[in-house]
Structure 1
Amino acid sequence: MKAPLPAVNEQQRLSALQRLNILDTPPEERFDRITRLARATFHVPIALVSLVDENRQWFKSCFGLDVRHTDRNISFCGHAIHSDALLVIENTLIDSRFHDNPLVIGNPHIRFYAGAPLHAPEGERIGTLCLIDRKPRQLDHSERKQLRQLADIVEQELVSVRSSSMDSETELSNRKGLLDLADYCLLRASQQELPLTLAVMTVERTNETTPLSHDALVYIAGALKQRLRETDVLARTGPNQFTILMVNCEDDEAEAILGAYIDIIQSEVTKLGFVENLRIQLTTEALNPANQSAKQRLEDL
């Protein structure tokens, strides 16, 4: 096993990481939504936002592992921060740097790794957005481009205030958060020639002028998040409006799936006593990801 060396600018790198004031903070949906999307898109069991501290790699967002950090001297990400290029290990068992690494011969039995370096505002490489699989695989050019684009979104979140991309009331993406991930969805759908559907749900009370309660909105947001695919991008784009961007889903299929969810949610909200006379209106439309009008349509929401 080859342990990762300190970066040439190690002290500046560590100082830049400390200035972000993010180490040892709780998980946040603004990062989890990205790792969740990465794991589902690339069909891997593990996706991480990993930050490389002095003696450890610490996971700000972690899907597929039940630990929050590992030692830096056995980390893959410690190697990845030495270059701006993606580090892709297609088969760890035939790579002299990693074949006898404890994370390879023991849990989580890493066989494939792909890490896109994350940069601090001043340019220092402080960690990665990484994918891990338990079997060897390859990452083609378009997939590498998609991973880099998701890493760029993580970098935006590292330097932004919490409210910039998230709706504080429902813990969903807000309009800006939707647009941040929309570029990635449009690229993926275009490159892989996948259908793309935009769905908009408007929640209202029939024969009532009073707004929906906080509890009702939070419940609806949670119910949608629980039922949607990890590849779907869900956002609150208005006081009573939820928007969903669905890659690899035709608009008629989306209408049928979401319509069934709406029936269930309306019944649950009434049964739980959050609100009576609830109505959720749904519209769906197919978008052409290769056409600039698709991005404009999202910006007009």
Structure 2
Amino acid sequence: MVQPPDTAATAPLLSAADVRRLAAELDLRPTKQWGQNFVIDPNTIRRIVAAADLAPDEHVLEIGPGLGSLTLGLLDAAAAVTAVEIDPVTAARLPRTAGEFRPERAADLAVLHADALALSAEQIDAVRPPVAATGPTALVANLPYNVAVPVLLHALAELPGLRHGLVMVQEEVADRLAAPPGSRTYGVPSAKAAWYADVRKAGVIGTQVFWPAPRIHSGLVAFTRREPPVDSVARTDVFAVVDAAFAQRRKTLRAALASWAGSPALAEETLLAAGVDPKARGESLDIAAFARIAAHRPDASRRQGACA
């Protein structure tokens, strides 16, 4: 069972010495290829777990657990944890680390050696801890910096049971994910994340709590799942509009969507039908507006005729 709060608050977490000891044991040198920056400060782990606002009966998905710093904190707060790790060395060591530091909770941890960019619900279900009645309901992770956005979007797309979560990413990526329409940092990640969830920036993490220390600060991003703004159009169709609109940020939507619609004239017609000013730019639109544009796209015969 999950530890009561007073026990969880005092349970030992990995210290800087523990992290370096485990790394030395594994002859591990953190690599940029897998975005490995390990948290070495227990108080930062407690802060992340508290901000994640987990219920004690939740099944948590962790992506990129590394040596297990966050994993132990998640085991203290939730019923079960499934950790997805691409590095075979750290993936093989993690169950033993849980057994050493949380022997009474080790059976509630499942470790899946897999690429998070190709993760499926079936893979997770195949290793689900016995205590978990369903798939993951929360995502809490220190995401690899180099693939943070695609990993997050893939998880949201493939795992509709994820109701909420908290991820740590580069601070500038956190700003982009949480940016509202019209802001300087609003772009493709902001719009696509908004298709799935309400997203907000939940804090900043300094560099010295990591080993090796990154050059820039990290940001915490919290999300809460909600229904897509329009259910009559496919997500892939909406995302195609988003990609086209931001591929040429300086252009008006009439020009930026010309290839997507078939011609500038068809783009203008589509935008007007969707209630969007053809002279507007992509950064001014929310995800609902992109969905309306996708819903009014000219049919294939008209696009082919415009291009003939």
Q: Which has the higher strand share?
A: 1
TM-score higher than 0.5: no
Structure-1-length-normalised TM-score:
0.30
What is the TM-score with the length of structure 2 in the denominator? 0.30
